Structure formats: structure tokens, C-alpha cells
């Protein structure tokens, strides 16, 4: 049976397009129940025995949730107790349009066989499809469609043998109008809350219920604490007229009374609006999209220099609203939140603060992320959940509540346990870490795998070349290999050979979609979360020694001054040339062995000669890059030595960089630049490139002040000026000064980002001083490189194109996801280092170490400990009557504590130990040894190991 649906759509040019779609209705759609004798179905999902005890429904039953139940009670639906659920096509379509995260979660539940969730395509069933009536809203039509489908199921199952079993269908809805109409139609219908509370054997499931609007009002006070949020219509009108600005709310980690709103603009027209005070923050949560109104200029203030943590209170009636002393200089545009455009809430990890009131079911939850406010939840499991890491979701934030209201989602395990803490940091940084699904694994090559004769015909055979890989210890996902040989004409041929991952991952399949979503491999301490399954990452794509591998090669002919005479690209077959003996791999992919080969004049084999040639050229390339204005910045990376049995860190040290690090780096950079130019020349509108924006001048303020304190001038007019002045920045009798200055300069930099060439005009990479750049050299661990490989393959005629590759809008959306995933991976890596640092200090007792003051705040100094590559904040609490006198000079910047004045780069000596008194926010405690300040023992807040890469952006 054929129906047609007609609707109009507005085009980009402002016109109106009439669209007619054919809509087929069928009478052979199965009901999915194993008790049914009517449907001729090959397989069933819904069980005969539903196995769920309820004092409301003392009979076997299937559940049909409406759209709002799926949207708001997804945590309940995910629970293993809830089974035999019919998800209507109408509901699924509505959920897809209204919430992508919930849609993904409900689809995942449907795919779990043991959950017995069945999707019924009621919109294509002859007996359940309904037309929208004149004057009927889309929402009302969908509610009616759900009721019609529930009625059909009720009648359909009555005709089967299930009638004898008393099997019934229960509609779940929280909409009072929908419930009433369903009851009038003779349907069994309950509110989701009353059904869940009726489950006899599972009372704890009540904790997972999201609060309804009625319940939100019940647990708030009558005192109004926050201004009313404006309706969306007024917000949109205000943004259009320019009286409001739209941007992303970014809460401060250091001060819970402060936040900024980033308002994007063209080029340098982006704005950052400062918010101070609870009322001006007005219930916005980190990463929400909000509307802000600028305050009059005479109300503008400077960012606070005070570090202020919310210690939390149980009562709404007494909100803590400390107004710290405001700085009088460097005022920023200041505003207030007038409305929420889009909530960006997710389930948050943290711990429960059990109420001191006996038998109370209301408790405060403290998130692990300090930028998220405490959340009030109702639970009867408080004694069980105490000491556990748990997940909580926010349901709403009424204007008369000091904290948002939420509900318990699930327990993650005991706080402080290694597996639990690792799970927390992956969840908190939104790192996809579930096992690869069977759908993804089904697209892997069948083993045993071998290069086929067809592959040989389509590729250049480079197996005879002395190709070698230079990678660190323990590395199994080897992306790159190099070769260098002298040509008959006296020039040198240099090749960078990259794993041909795009050969194994074809566009649009489940493996490709999963890699695109993950975006990057995430490296934690002692663990790797792969972007692609291990068969590819550690085996078939990894350029291991003495095995034939598929590669994508970038090859140059150069003279001995490293000038490029010719460049070409080819799909290839290589065989990494490395000798073995029975005990160990002599080359072992270890950098230090490569360095030994280069340095040992008695070694003159092909591998060593290749490495020496590469090293010589790399030095020239690096010198030339620096002369052109490329920056050489610095940060301290740490390496843990892990016990093989306990997997605990037994040693912690900063990584040593060798000449061979730089050698590999230079050729990877050169390959990335060469490929970037090639794909842009061929596809000017859809090349995936990477840029590094120049920092705004204000970013350099702290660097300039810090250098000035030692009578050193830093020039920031250009990358070249900055590089030159950093090279000349030395202080007699302070050899570490230049390193500290470069660490500080790293903090001034902007984030490098991926972008689509057709959507941006600024291609420049500031840090590398390159007019164009991309990522080509790590396709095993970065999805960006896979796309670049595909573009390059099309450019040289080695592969065919596909629509999404040439769609600049889709490329741009992909870039946004990649930028997000890379940023989250960095943060997760940093959190992993911080956790392992705490494990390291747990068994060390108290250590005395030297450090340097890196930043000065109004009530704290931030100290860098070079030996461990970490930094920590040392607080001076001025609220306590016994605390020392503090005088902060913003111009310096300096902080005077009693008789001693702290400057940036001052050397200090501290004791370091682990404070585990707060199991959720364990911290390294510091106390000053030198300088000695009478009566002061200074605790330190969370010590954060440095994790900014010292590597260039390759």
C-alpha cells in the first residue's frame, strides 16, 4: 500500500521547496513476540516468560515507553532488570531528532540480545500508521500514534496463545494528557515512576529515576536565589538585535565563583566575557551554550587571582557568596547569564557526601571535575555508595536551589582502586573505550593475511631498500619508517614510509565509522586505548621488522644541503631491515641504539649509513626551519617505570630526548608539509589541513613580565622575533632560566587544530613557521591521517574518491570531532599521569626537592619540580586569623608572605608527600623548607604533572 507525505522545506537561498515522499505501508511486519501464532516471523526478540515482579502488574507484560520516557529515563531503561520492551519507530525517530547521545544509547540497548528490546516499525505497518489530522500538532499526532500502536499490540496478542498466559502490554508515559487518553482507550498505562516503584525485587532502581517537573518543585525552597532564565524566543530576538551574546560557558577550575563565556567571531573578533558571582553565573554548567548580557563598563572587573574551592553546604538557605577583592587593572568585558540555549549535561563521575541528618535520603554528590557544581540527589543506598565512585546525571536546576537536582546512574567501584580510577578518567574525558563490536571486527582482514599478487601489481616494490623504523621501547603500533641512499648522480634519495591503514579501512563501513568517532589512540600510563582493533594497530599495519608491509611513501631527491629537487608519492611494499638474534632485537626500535650506531665510527653497514645520512640532513632541515622562525619550546615529559607484577609505578623521571628524536621529527614534519601542499593543489576546497593560530598579544603578558623580572626582553611581534629573543634569553648563574622561559612560552600558545581548506582562509602554522601543514605520518593512531591518505591516494590515481571526501561541510564537521577527541585525549593522558604520580608518592613518604616558582597568584604560588616534571599550587590561606599577611602585586607579579617576597622563577625547596584524607581529590602536600617563613607550613593543592608535548606538532 502506497501513501505519500508532502512537506515544504526552506532552501539556503531563502526559497521554499515542496517535497513529496512515497510512504509504503505493509501488512507483513512482525510483532517480535515468541508467543505469537499470527506473525510468520523467522526470529523473535520478546520472551514468553517476562520474569519481572511488580505489585502493579501481577501478570506477564511487555513495556511500551513513550518518547519522553526514553529521553529522560534512559538510565532506568539501561538497567539489566528492564527487559521485553517494545520501542516504536515513532519514538525512535523523535529521540533521534531531539538527543543524539540518548539515541545512541537506546540503539545500543536494542542491539543487546539479553535485554530483549524490539523495534516495531509502526509507521510502515498498515494497521498502526496514522495520518496527521488538520490542526493537530506533530507532538499530539505522535502521542496518538504511540497509543494506536499500543492498542494494536494489546488486540494482536489477545488472538494468540499468549492470552491464556495473561500476557499484557503496558504503556509508560509521564504526560498526564497522554495517560488520560490512553486509559480512556482501555489501555494499561502507568507513569514511569509509579511502575518502577512497583518493582518488588529491585527497590534500588528508584534511585536511577530522573526527577519529573513535579518532583523538582517538591525538593526546593521558597527562597529565590537566581534570576529567571529568559524564554528562547526573547533570547533569539536579543541575539539578533545584539543586546545578548551567544557563547560557550567555561567554568573556572580554580574559583567556583568565576567563569568565562567564549563568543566566537570572525578572525580576531572572538570575545571572551568574564562572569563573577553566583547570580551572574545563573545556574549555567560547564560547556552549556548560554546567552549573556554585558554589564555597563563601570561594572567590568578583572579576573580574580584568588584560588577558591566550593566546600559545599547542605542547605539552600545559606548560599556562600564570597566577593573577593577585585583587581583594579586589566578589566575585561563582564556580563551575566540571562538564559540557557543548550544544556550540555552528561553523567558525571564523583563521590557521595552522605548527609549528617539521620535517615535522610537527600545527599550532595561532589563531581570529580571541579568545574561542575555539586548535585543534590535522593537515594536510599547512601551507606552502600559511601566510598564508591559513582555516576550521577543532572535533571534540572530550579531558581530557588543552591545546587542542581539529579539522580544516581550507577556505581563504578571503590574510590582509589586503579581500575576504578582509570574508568573514571576515561568517562570524564569522554574517551570511547568499549571493546570493539562484532560489527566493527567483521570488517577486519581474515587471517592468515598475505600481500596478494594484485597488491604487488598496483604498488611500487621497495623491499630492496634499507628501510628502518626508529621508535621508543615497547612500541607496537609503528606508523613510520625511513630510508636514505646515495643516487648515481651524487644526490640523496630520502623516503618516509607510512603504514597504509586506509588499505584496510574502507570508507563508510562500521570499522571506518568507529575509527572516525574515536578520532585518536589514547595513551595512558601502562595502557593504550586503540583507535583501530589490535590486529591492525599492532600487527598488519605496524611496520615491524623483517616482514613485508603495505606502505604509503613520500620520497624526495635532495642534494647534500637538504634542498628538495624532486618529490613523489607512491603506494608501496616495504620490508624493514633489522637484524635479530635469539635473545633480543639488536635494533629493537630503541632510539638509544640508533644513536649508538650513528656515533660508532666502526659501524659502516647499510642501516648505519642510512641513519647517518638521515641525521646529517635532519640537522640542516632543523637549522633552516629555525632560521625561518619556527619555535623551539619546552616542557617536561615524565616517564614511569612500572612494576611488571603489580603494575604500580616504581620510578618516575623526566624523559631524555636524543638526537635521533629530532632526526625522525624533521622528516615527519617535511612529509606532512609536502603532502599538505599536494592535497591542497589537487583539492583546494576539501583538503584536511592543520593550522596553529598566532596567539593574541595578551597571551604573552605573563611571559614578558616573567622575563622582565630578570631584566630580559622578550619580543613577540612574530614567531621569528619570539624565537630569536628566546635564544638570547640567558641569566648568569641561572642555567635553567632559558628552559623555564620556554616552558612558560609553551603556555602562551594557542591549540593547533584541524580544518577543511574550503572553510577557512588562514592556513598558517605559527609554531612550525610553515604556510601549510597537515597530518600524514600516524594513520594507526590518528583518523585525520587516514583521510589525508585517502585524499593523497585520489590525487595520485591510486584509489577512487567518494562523496563525503569531497564535501567540505562534512569534512568540517569531521574536523570538529577530531579536534574535540584530540583535546580530550590530552586531558585524559594528563589525568593518568597525575594518578600514577599519586601512586608513586603513596609509597615514598616525604621527599625533599628543589623547585621553581612558575606563577604567582593572590593567595598562592605554583611551583615546578623539574626532577619529576610536575607542578603544584602552594596555598597561603588569608582567611584564618593565624595565617600570614599576604601582599599581592599584580604588576610584578609578586606575592609577599610575611617577610619574604616570591617572584616568578625563584628557587624554592619543598617537602612533598601524598595527602589521601580526601579520597576523591587526593593531593600532593607541600611544605616550604627554603625560604623559611615563620609559622607557615604550606599545603599544596592537586599536583599536576606537566603533559604538554615537547614534540613538535607532527
- Quick one: CATH architecture of 347-415? Beta Barrel (2.40)
The crossing angle, in degrees rounded to 10, of helices 808-842 and 418-428 is 150
> What pLDDT does 526 receive?
82
Peptide bond into 893 cis (omega under 30): yes
* Helices (runs of H) and strands (runs of E) counted in the chain: 25, 37
Whether pLDDT at 947 is above 90: no
Closest CA to 226 of 371, 376, 344, 401: 401
Report which of residues 431 and 159 the model is more confident about. 431
What distances in angstroms separate CA 494 from CA 557, 562, 759, one per listed residue?
Answer: 6, 10, 34
* Mean pLDDT (whole number) for 193-217: 80
Report which of residues 592 and 813 the model is more confident about. 813
User: Does the 232-342 domain belong in CATH 3.30.2320.50?
Assistant: no
Map 576-591 to HEC letters: ECCCECCCCECCCCCH
Phi/psi for 218 (5° steps) reads -70, -30
Q: Per DSSP, what are the bridge partners of residue 689?
A: 755
Q: Which DSSP letter does residue 922 get?
A: -
> What pLDDT does 640 receive?
61
Peptide bond into 562 cis (omega under 30): no
Whether pLDDT at 536 is above 90: yes
Whether pLDDT at 948 is above 80: no
pLDDT in tens, 94-105: 999 998 889 989
| Cα(506)–Cα(800) distance, integer angstroms | 11
Closest CA to 256 of 274, 272, 276, 273: 276
Whether pLDDT at 488 is above 90: yes
Please tell me whether residue 838 adopts helix, strand or coil conformation. Answer: helix
- Quick one: CATH architecture of 51-208? 3-Layer(aba) Sandwich (3.40)
Mean pLDDT, the chain, whole residue set = 85
| Cα(329)–Cα(64) distance, integer angstroms | 61
| Cα(859)–Cα(838) distance, integer angstroms | 24
Above pLDDT 90, what percent of the chain?
A: 51
* Mean pLDDT (whole number) for 639-664: 60
Q: What does the block give as the cell for 644?
A: 611488571
Report which of residues 804 and 938 the model is more confident about. 804
Is residue 310 very low, low, confident or very high in pLDDT (cuts 50, 70, 90)? Answer: low
> What pLDDT does 585 receive?
34
Is residue 638 very low, low, confident or very high in pLDDT (cuts 50, 70, 90)? Answer: low
* Mean pLDDT (whole number) for 823-842: 88
Please tell me whether residue 127 adopts helix, strand or coil conformation. Answer: coil
Whether pLDDT at 652 is above 90: no
Between the two ends of the chain, the Cα-to-Cα distance in Å is 58
* Mean pLDDT (whole number) for 14-23: 74
pLDDT in tens, 547-606: 899 999 999 999 999 999 999 999 999 988 753 332 333 333 334 445 555 556 666 667
> What pLDDT does 319 receive?
35
Q: Which DSSP letter does residue 462 get?
A: -
Whether pLDDT at 821 is above 50: yes
The answer to whether 662 touches 670, Cβ cutoff 8 Å, is no
User: Does the 845-930 domain belong in CATH 1.20.120.80?
Assistant: no
> What pLDDT does 324 receive?
40
Please tell me whether residue 790 adopts helix, strand or coil conformation. Answer: helix
Closest CA to 529 of 477, 472, 480: 477
pLDDT in tens, 244-270: 999 999 999 888 899 999 998 765 667
> What pLDDT does 860 receive?
82
Q: Among the listed ranges 359-368, 586-595, 741-750, which one has the minimum average pLDDT value?
A: 586-595
Whether pLDDT at 632 is above 60: yes
| Cα(811)–Cα(806) distance, integer angstroms | 8
Is residue 768 very low, low, confident or very high in pLDDT (cuts 50, 70, 90)? Answer: very high
Q: What does the block give as the cell for 7?
A: 512537506
Do the domains 232-342 and 845-930 sit in the same CATH topology, yes or no? yes
pLDDT in tens, 779-802: 999 999 999 999 999 999 999 999
Please tell me whether residue 643 adopts helix, strand or coil conformation. Answer: coil
Whether pLDDT at 472 is above 90: no
| Cα(127)–Cα(253) distance, integer angstroms | 56
Q: What pTM was estimated for this model as a whole?
A: 0.81
Report which of residues 372 and 834 the model is more confident about. 372
> What pLDDT does 17 receive?
77
Map 694-726 to HEC letters: CCCHHHHHHHHHHHHCCCCCCCCCCHHHHHHHH
Report which of residues 645 and 352 the model is more confident about. 352
pLDDT in tens, 318-339: 333 334 444 445 789 999 999 9
- The residue ranges of every structural domain in the chain are 51-208, 232-342, 347-415, 845-930
Q: Which DSSP letter does residue 540 get?
A: I
Is residue 312 very low, low, confident or very high in pLDDT (cuts 50, 70, 90)? Answer: low
Is residue 645 very low, low, confident or very high in pLDDT (cuts 50, 70, 90)? Answer: low
> What pLDDT does 321 receive?
39
Is residue 838 very low, low, confident or very high in pLDDT (cuts 50, 70, 90)? Answer: confident
Whether pLDDT at 3 is above 90: no
Closest CA to 380 of 340, 408, 405: 408
Q: What does the block give as the cell for 171?
A: 504503556
Contacts of 384 (CB under 8 A, 6+ apart): none
Whether pLDDT at 643 is above 70: no
pLDDT in tens, 117-128: 999 999 999 999
> What pLDDT does 11 receive?
72
Above pLDDT 70, what percent of the chain?
A: 84
Amino acid at each position: 500500500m502506497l501513501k505519500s507525505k508532502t512537506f515544504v522545506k526552506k532552501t539556503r537561498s531563502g526559497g521554499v521547496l515542496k517535497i513529496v515522499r512515497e510512504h509504503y505501508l505493509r501488512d507483513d511486519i512482525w510483532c517480535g513476540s515468541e508467543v505469537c501464532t499470527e506473525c510468520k516471523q523467522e526470529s523473535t526478540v520478546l520472551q514468553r516468560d517476562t520474569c519481572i515482579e511488580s505489585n502493579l502488574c501481577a501478570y506477564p507484560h511487555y513495556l511500551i515507553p513513550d518518547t519522553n520516557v526514553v529521553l529522560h529515563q534512559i538510565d532506568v531503561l539501561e538497567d539489566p532488570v528492564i527487559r521485553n520492551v517494545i520501542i516504536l519507530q515513532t519514538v525512535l525517530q523523535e529521540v533521534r531528532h531531539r538527543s543524539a547521545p540518548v539515541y545512541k544509547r537506546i540503539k545500543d540497548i536494542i542491539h543487546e540480545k539479553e535485554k530483549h528490546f524490539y523495534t516495531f516499525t509502526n509507521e510502515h505497518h498498515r494497521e498502526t500508521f496514522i495520518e496527521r489530522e488538520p490542526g493537530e500538532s506533530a507532538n499530539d499526532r505522535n502521542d496518538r500514534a504511540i497509543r494506536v500502536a499500543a492498542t494494536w499490540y494489546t488486540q494482536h496478542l489477545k488472538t494468540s496463545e499468549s492470552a491464556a498466559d495473561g500476557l499484557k502490554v503496558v504503556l509508560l508515559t509521564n504526560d498526564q494528557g497522554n495517560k488520560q487518553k490512553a486509559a480512556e482507550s482501555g489501555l494499561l498505562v502507568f507513569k514511569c515512576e509509579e511502575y518502577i516503584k512497583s518493582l518488588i525485587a529491585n527497590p534500588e532502581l528508584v534511585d536511577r529515576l530522573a526527577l519529573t517537573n513535579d518532583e523538582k518543585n517538591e525538593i526546593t525552597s521558597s527562597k529565590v536565589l537566581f534570576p529567571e532564565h529568559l524564554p528562547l524566543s526573547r533570547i533569539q530576538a536579543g541575539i539578533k538585535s545584539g543586546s545578548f551574546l551567544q557563547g560557550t560557558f567555561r567554568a573556572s577550575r580554580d574559583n567556583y565563583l568565576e567563569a568565562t563565556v567564549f563568543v566566537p567571531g570572525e578572525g580576531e573578533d572572538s570575545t571572551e566575557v568574564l562572569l563573577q558571582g553566583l547570580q551572574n553565573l545563573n545556574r549555567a554548567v560547564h560547556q552549556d551554550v548560554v546567552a549573556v548580557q554585558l554589564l555597563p563598563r563601570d561594572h567590568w572587573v578583572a579576573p580574580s587571582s584568588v584560588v577558591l574551592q566550593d566546600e559545599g553546604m547542605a542547605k539552600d538557605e545559606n548560599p556562600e557568596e564570597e566577593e573577593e577583592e577585585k583587581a583594579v587593572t586589566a578589566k575585561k568585558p563582564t556580563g551575566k547569564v540571562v538564559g540557557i540555549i543548550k544544556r550540555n549535561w552528561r553523567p558525571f563521575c564523583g563521590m557521595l557526601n552522605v548527609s549528617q541528618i539521620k535517615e535522610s535520603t537527600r545527599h550532595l554528590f561532589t563531581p570529580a571535575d571541579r568545574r561542575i557544581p555539586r548535585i543534590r540527589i535522593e537515594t536510599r543506598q547512601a551507606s552502600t555508595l559511601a566510598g564508591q565512585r559513582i555516576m550521577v546525571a543532572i535533571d534540572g536546576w530550579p531558581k530557588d536551589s543552591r545546587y542542581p537536582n539529579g539522580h544516581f546512574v550507577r556505581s563504578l567501584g571503590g574510590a582509589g582502586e586503579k581500575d576504578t580510577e582509570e574508568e573514571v578518567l576515561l568517562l570524564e574525558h569522554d574517551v570511547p573505550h568499549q571493546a570493539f563490536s562484532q560489527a566493527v571486527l567483521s570488517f577486519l582482514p581474515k587471517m592468515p593475511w598475505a600481500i596478494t599478487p594484485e597488491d604487488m601489481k598496483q604498488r611500487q616494490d621497495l623491499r630492496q631498500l634499507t628501510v628502518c623504523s626508529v621508535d621508543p621501547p615497547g612500541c607496537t603500533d609503528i606508523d613510520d619508517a625511513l630510508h636514505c641512499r646515495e643516487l648515481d648522480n651524487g644526490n640523496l634519495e630520502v623516503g618516509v614510509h607510512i603504514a597504509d591503514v586506509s588499505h584496510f579501512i574502507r570508507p563508510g563501513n562500521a570499522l571506518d565509522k568507529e575509527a572516525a568517532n574515536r578520532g585518536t589512540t589514547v595513551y595512558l600510563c601502562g595502557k593504550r586505548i586503540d583507535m583501530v582493533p589490535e590486529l591492525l594497530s599492532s600487527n598488519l599495519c605496524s611496520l615491524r621488522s623483517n616482514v613485508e608491509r603495505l606502505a604509503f611513501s613520500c620520497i624526495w631527491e635532495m642534494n647534500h644541503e637538504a634542498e628538495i629537487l624532486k618529490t613523489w608519492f607512491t603506494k608501496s611494499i616495504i620490508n624493514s631491515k633489522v637484524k635479530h638474534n635469539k635473545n633480543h632485537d639488536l635494533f629493537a626500535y630503541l632510539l638509544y641504539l640508533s644513536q649508538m650506531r650513528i656515533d660508532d665510527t666502526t659501524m659502516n653497514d647499510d642501516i648505519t649509513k642510512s641513519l647517518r645520512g638521515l641525521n646529517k640532513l635532519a640537522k640542516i632541515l632543523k637549522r633552516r626551519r629555525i632560521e625561518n622562525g619556527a619555535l623551539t619550546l619546552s616542557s617536561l615529559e615524565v616517564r614511569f617505570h612500572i612494576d611488571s607484577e603489580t603494575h604500580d609505578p616504581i620510578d618516575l623521571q623526566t624523559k631524555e630526548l636524543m638526537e635521533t628524536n629530532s632526526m625522525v621529527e624533521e622528516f615527519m614534519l617535511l612529509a606532512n608539509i609536502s603532502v599538505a601542499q599536494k592535497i591542497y593543489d589537487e583539492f583546494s576546497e576539501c583538503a584536511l589541513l592543520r593550522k596553529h593560530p598566532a596567539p593574541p598579544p595578551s597571551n604573552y603578558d605573563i611571559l614578558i613580565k616573567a622575563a622582565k623580572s630578570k631584566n630580559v626582553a622578550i619580543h613577540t611581534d612574530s614567531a621569528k622575533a619570539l624565537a630569536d629573543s628566546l635564544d638570547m634569553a640567558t641569566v648568569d648563574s641561572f642555567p635553567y632560566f632559558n628552559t623555564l622561559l620556554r616552558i612558560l612560552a609553551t603556555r602562551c600558545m594557542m591549540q593547533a587544530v584541524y580544518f577543511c581548506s574550503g572553510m577557512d582562509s588562514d592556513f598558517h602554522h605559527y609554531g612550525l613557521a610553515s604556510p601549510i601543514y597537515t597530518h600524514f605520518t600516524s594513520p594507526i593512531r590518528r583518523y585525520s591521517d587516514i583521510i589525508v591518505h585517502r585524499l593523497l591516494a585520489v590525487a595520485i590515481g591510486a584509489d577512487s574518491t567518494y562523496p563525503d571526501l569531497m564535501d567540505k561541510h562534512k569534512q568540517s564537521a569531521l574536523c570538529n570531532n577530531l579536534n574535540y577527541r584530540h583535546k580530550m585525549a590530552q586531558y585524559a593522558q594528563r589525568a593518568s599521569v597525575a594518578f600514577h604520580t599519586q601512586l608513586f608518592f603513596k609509597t615514598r613518604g616525604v621527599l625533599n626537592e628543589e623547585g621553581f616558582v612558575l606563577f604567582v597568584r593572590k593567595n598562592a604560588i605554583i611551583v615546578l619540580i623539574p626532577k619529576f616534571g610536575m607542578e603544584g599550587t602552594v596555598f597561603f590561606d588569608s582567611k584564618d586569623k593565624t595565617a600570614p599577611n599576604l601582599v599581592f602585586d599584580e604588576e610584578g607579579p609578586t606575592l609577599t608572605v610575611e617577610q619574604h617576597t616570591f617572584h616568578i622563577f625563584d628557587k624554592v625547596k619543598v617537602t612533598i608527600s601524598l595527602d589521601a584524607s580526601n579520597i576523591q581529590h587526593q593531593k600532593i602536600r607541600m611544605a616550604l623548607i627554603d625560604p623559611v617563613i615563620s609559622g607557615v607550613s604550606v599545603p599544596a593543592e592537586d599536583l599536576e604533572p606537566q603533559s604538554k608535548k615537547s614534540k613538535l606538532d607532527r
